[in-house]
Structure 1
């Protein structure tokens, strides 16, 4: 399959062209585009520009209110609750994470929830906002889709329900963990589908629990079929994956139930045409100085990271990495070489531009 590499700023302008054609408020569109491009630069191809297809479907179904602005519903000291107005989740999530950071710097901890939102991209982008400002960040979100098959089940019930955590170091890069509570994010299957690439075993199972490796068949199980789907974290439907299943439930309790967000199986039975998804998000920030003297936390975390990096490698050509290292290396490479856009994704973007009246900008004429 042909893959072109596109400069990050050109990808950003392409996203903005489409969001503007959809009449999203210009400042909010800028926030969304910046976050989507940064996601692609970090190598999380499942949550960046490739999401435009899903956003178009949601917009056409009347589920997105792109002109809506985030609002503060409650503000009580170190906590707050925001309403996303049924728009894309990127702007309200950026606002929520920064508000949580502000509160942490004032009170030691800040927790901000979001209700009435939609897909917000990669959770790790918001956790990184915290570490960039010198605090610890944790982010979780409920999800729109139902794709996780619980242990002993044959049908999916939960979503991928991601969790992200970032902590600032001193000399080293921040520690950044960004993970789904399924073995892999649902949109990762879409990336393999777009690239016509065989999936690893253990990502997707059919209705009888058998492994599915064909990405096109996997797309049907994850996005279309009423049974089969993604395995819980752990890569199987055996008892060992109960912890991944429990973690997925914990994430929904924090981001969905606590914030007044919907639970997908219930929402899908009651949702009327054009109703928003009411996705909930959870953002927490902790100032290390609430517990340690200035710079002590960062020095100790440097020692931890240094120890991990110094661990004897099984293969000298592949040194031991710490969470956040692979994404940082990908970011450096893609800033030099561009963001990879497979021809199938390029064709989808061309079609979106044609339907919306947006300028197609990925390739220079």
Structure 2
């Protein structure tokens, strides 16, 4: 399985979450960010690695999005983030072209606060932002408040090729939904609206692993599977790949992100957010739902335990691994990487060394 191959990091350097967070934060401060905001961004990225979401951790995105953006002027290192529109249950935040994590954490915190005051639901949209990392981080913010969390992001340049289209138009426009349980790991679905995240293709290229049909497509609508020919790919099809396999559904999810993250707060659509050389601006949407607004949260979480446990106890197909649900593998990765540390590929360590020298940051990564 290709996904399993992408988890097998060649020649890894293992670093625990604390030291890795400290080092990445120091790179961000070296690039001009205030210390508290730099640390928050580092924590969001390392959290993705701890949960096994390597596509949205520190290994590829510092170059693809964050440090490159900070050093080239299309991410604002010290943004003036402000609420531009607000009601008791909604708000719009202008991120001032800052790191997407900063405004996004604030937005979800605001949605949680508004939902707790009303005992119901609250939504906050963010515009004029940048890449915010793993969508699931923000959905999971709601869990400790006995709430259900939801997040979508729109933008980042043209990656998804519309169904029946020739050229890419939308970003990968991810969504995440998180619901708490009691004893079981929470249910957390975090997914792109394309066949796979753009980051998985980057990992495959770094590891020299060929990719399945549907991960990349050329200008003639043909799949690109030979990773050495990635330059021939112009984008990715929507989730589903083609009409017979449900690509209209992937298109719908991608367009939902555009509606909620872009049209609703008055931002530009994802395919038009192209004002920087490494992909465009981003916009986001966050929602918090107070479980106590429907019934006691303790009862809900007990029933979630029953549902999730019953699902996992179903019989597996012959030769197949155990049944899991979204969020369960994340908890396993978190426990494992708490013990072993996060495996960094050699090219990531080399990039870190290069940036530490450039930004005059102390080298604190072992190996």
- The TM-score normalised by the length of structure 1 is 0.91
Runs of 4+ in 1 over 6 A off after TM superposition: 273-276
User: How much is the aligned-residue C-alpha RMSD, in angstroms?
Assistant: 2.1
Consecutive unaligned residues of structure 1, counting only runs of 5 or more, are 223-227
Residue in structure 1 matched with residue 3 of structure 2 by the alignment: none
Per-residue deviation, 1:216: 4.4
Residue in structure 2 matched with residue 27 of structure 1 by the alignment: 36
Which of 305, 320, 323 aligns to 2:326? It is 323
Q: CA 1:277/1:235 → structure 2, altered by over 3 Å: closer, same or farther? A: closer
2:49 and 2:56 in contact (8 A); partners too: yes
2:180 and 2:187 in contact (8 A); partners too: yes
Which of 212, 232, 252 aligns to 2:258? It is 252
Q: CA 1:153/1:240 → structure 2, altered by over 3 Å: closer, same or farther? A: same
How many residue pairs end up in the alignment?
Answer: 355
Per-residue deviation, 1:278: 4.1
Q: Report matched runs for 1:73-92 at 5 Å.
A: 73-92=84-103
Residue in structure 1 matched with residue 238 of structure 2 by the alignment: 232
Residue in structure 2 matched with residue 301 of structure 1 by the alignment: 304
Consecutive unaligned residues of structure 2, counting only runs of 5 or more, are 1-9
Q: Report matched runs for 1:1-365 at 5 Å.
A: 1-49=10-58, 50-54=60-64, 55-107=66-118, 108-218=120-230, 220=231, 228-236=234-242, 240-268=246-274, 271=275, 277-315=280-318, 318-363=321-366
Mapped partners of 1:5, 1:215: distance in 2: 26
Mapped partners of 1:33, 1:255: distance in 2: 24
1:262 and 1:279 in contact (8 A); partners too: no
1:64 and 1:276 in contact (8 A); partners too: no
Mapped partners of 1:237, 1:341: distance in 2: 38
Mapped partners of 1:239, 1:338: distance in 2: 38
Which piece of structure 1 moves more, 29-38 or 61-70?
A: 61-70
Per-residue deviation, 1:8: 1.5
Q: CA 1:29/1:213 → structure 2, altered by over 3 Å: closer, same or farther? A: same
Per-residue deviation, 1:64: 1.2
Per-residue deviation, 1:352: 1.9
Q: Secondary structure at the match of 2:213?
A: coil
